[in-house]
Amino acid sequence: MSDVLLINGPNLARLGQRAPSIYGHVTLRQIEEKVHHRVEAAGLSLKCFQSDVEGEIIRFVDAHRDARGLIINPGALMMSGWSLRDCLEDFDGYKIEIHISNIFAREAFRTRSVLADVMNGMIAGLGVVAYTLAVSAIEAVIRPETAGAK
């Protein structure tokens, strides 16, 4: 069993190359390494996954339903991922949706997430630090007696 799932949706494999003025220069691999170190420091385990295909993300979640927490940057699936929303609705672990950019300060079509109402929380606009902040939130829920002690 993995304690924490880290899921990145469409186009996020191109982080570091895609629109650096919006998403920065950090690669997905670098983000995964930072999250891995943060999860490990919390005494938890991590499983990472990225796909441009909604169905593959759903299969990944279904295969890891015993995870205690889930961090997802759904990319554009936040606007169109109704099947993903249904999959996440009955995921029992703590769920955090993240976005590197401030989606509320961008185009109007980016301001509504179809996933938001089934998530426990959302972090947007803080850059890639959102990923490790999400780990801290999950740690506080999973292990409240040790959260923040490190």
Among all residues, which ones are annotated catalytic?
23, 99
Tokens for 7, please give them.
């899921």
Hey, what amino acid is at 15?
L
**What gap in Å lies between CA 123 and CA 130, rounded to an integer?**
6
Collapsed DSSP state (helix, strand, coil) of residue 130: helix
Contact present, 99 and 72 (Cβ < 8 Å) = no
Tokens for 27, please give them.
């690669």
**What gap in Å lies between CA 54 and CA 68, rounded to an integer?**
21
**What gap in Å lies between CA 93 and CA 45, rounded to an integer?**
14
